[in-house]
Amino acid sequence: MDSSEILRRYLSGERDFRGANLRAANLIGAKLVRSNFSGSNLSDASIARAHLERCFLLEANLNGAFLYGTNLSFVKLLGASLMEADLTKANLQGAQLAKVDLRRAKLSGAILKWVSLFRANLPGVNLCGANLNGINLRSANLEGANLNWTNLNGARLSGANLKGAQLNGVKLQGAWMNGLKLGEIDLSGMELDEVKLSGAKLHGADFTGSNLTRSQLRFSDLGDANFQKANLQQSNLRGGQLIHANLMKTDLREADLRNADLSHTNLNLAVLAGADLTGADLRGAYLWGADLDGACLRGADLRGASLRGAAVIGADLQDAILDGATMPDGSVRG
């Protein structure tokens, strides 16, 4: 079956082309809306600017296919193979791409809004500049992927592999990234407000100057992370591990830091007004010039901490442990 026969049969009203062999076929600009190509071989086919809206391509072979600017909105591609396929500027809005193999595929500038790529295999994929707003990438393999300048606002990324991924200029507002392993990743200067990173492994990550307002970082590993001058207002860091982290000049107003481990953390000149530090571990922490006005430090462990020059007016220090702590006036508690 060749491309001319497919087009002739389509014009006569046929829509079922399951199992067709269209390897290297020329279907540029073809209109094949709502057709069924499940199990078909379309490897190395030229399908640029074609109309394949709402087609069925279940377990189809599209390896190396040229799909530049193709309309693939709402297609069903479950289990399909698109290795090294060129999907540059393709419209994949609403497409079902769960468990699809997209190794080394090109998706630069593609429209992927509200697409499901659950458990998809995407190592080394080029998604530079793609619109991935709200995309489902849970448990997807994005190792070494080019995600520069992509829109991942509201995306589901929990359980995804982002090792070695390029993230320059990426948008992640409200993204779901719970439980991710992103040790030493560079997320400096990013807009990450309302991002969900609870239980994530972020040891040594760089958040310098980033906006993490109202973010969820509960029980995350943030040891040695750099949050200098970051905005963490109203963020939830309850039970987080922030040992040796750099929080100098960080805005932590009204943040939830209950039972967080902040031992030996640099909180110099940090703003902690109204923050909840109930039961927090602040042993050996540096709080020089920190603003603790109205902060709750009930039961916090401040042994050996330095509060020199800190503003503690209105701070609740009931049951706090202050043995060996340097107080705002420079005196040391016995």
Per the CB < 8 A criterion, the answer to whether 221 and 199 are in contact is: no
Q: Which two tokens stand for residue 30?
A: 């073809």
Of the candidates 167, 169, 163, which has an alpha carbon nearest to the alpha carbon of residue 144? 163
pLDDT score at 99: 84
pLDDT score at 73: 95
Residue 257, exposed/middle/buried by CB under 10 A (0-12, 13-18, 19+)? buried
For residues 74 and 54, give the distance between their C-alpha atoms in angstroms, rounded to a whole number. 5
Of the candidates 162, 161, 215, 226, which has an alpha carbon nearest to the alpha carbon of residue 191? 215
pTM of the entire predicted model = 0.81
pLDDT score at 111: 87
Q: Which two tokens stand for residue 134?
A: 């709200």
Mean pLDDT by 10 residues, the chain (334 residues): 91 96 96 97 97 97 98 94 95 89 90 84 88 88 92 92 90 94 89 95 96 97 98 98 98 98 98 98 98 97 97 94 96 88
Q: Which two tokens stand for residue 176?
A: 């779901």
pLDDT score at 318: 95
